[in-house]
Amino acid sequence: MVKGVIFDMDGLMFDTERLWDTLWEPCCRKLGLPLPRPEFLASGRGLAGDNLLRHLAEYYPQIDPHIMLKEVYGLAEERFRQGVPCKPGLHELLDWLKDHDLPCIVASSSPRDMIENNLKNNHVESYFRGVVCGADVERSKPAPDIFLLAARKLGLPATDCLVLEDSFNGVRAGHAAGAVTVMVPDLAQPDEEIKQLYTCCCHDLLEVRQLLEDGKL
């Protein structure tokens, strides 16, 4: 049985991955760059840190990737201030975890202020013991660093933690950390590689709550 829960954010707690996809086109327009191709969007989801910078450099070698990243983060901050929708079952799962004294923490590759604003705007910040962001670790997902740090902040070994993720790299990171890893797919369904790495796959966070309630996690 798990003793703590580590939540990813984008695509897992909040329906933001679709919003992120809409931001690259205005970013490119403003910077005078070719519009993003579908494969740029698909292969870039779940990337952060150096991995994201390398991705930007591969598709847009004509510009410093830091400039692109700064621009798209600015657009995201403006858009997310308007509010982002919660994924189904988030509040029900958080209430269940609170009622059963299971500590929670957020571990997301997004900037800290963006994470904290999303939590505050959706009135869920009080459920979490803290936040770990991409800037807190040297290596981003699929390296396990962010989940190992999150587990330490909960005072638990990673093996006693449940990691909830929607992305391939997030599942890879949870598995590498040795955590119980559950995938709740958002825009991408698991392939054969990912199916070998997670503990189970759930349709939504309500199903995660049911598995916990039934003692199956």
* Catalytic positions, written as ranges: 8, 10
Query: In Å, how far are 15, 81, 110, 206 from 88, measured between CA atoms?
Result: 9, 20, 21, 7
The owner of tokens 């996690």 is: 217
Bridge partner list, 25: none
Tokens for 166, please give them: 């929607």
Reading phi first (left if > 0) and then psi (alpha if -120 to 50, else beta), residue 164 is in: beta
Task: Give the up-direction half-sphere exposure of residue 96: CA atoms within 13 A in the CB hemisphere.
Answer: 17
Residue type, 74: G
The DSSP H or E segment spanning 120 is helix 112-121
C-alpha 143/C-alpha 134 separation (Å) is 11
Tell me phi and psi for residue 200, to 5 degrees: -165, 170
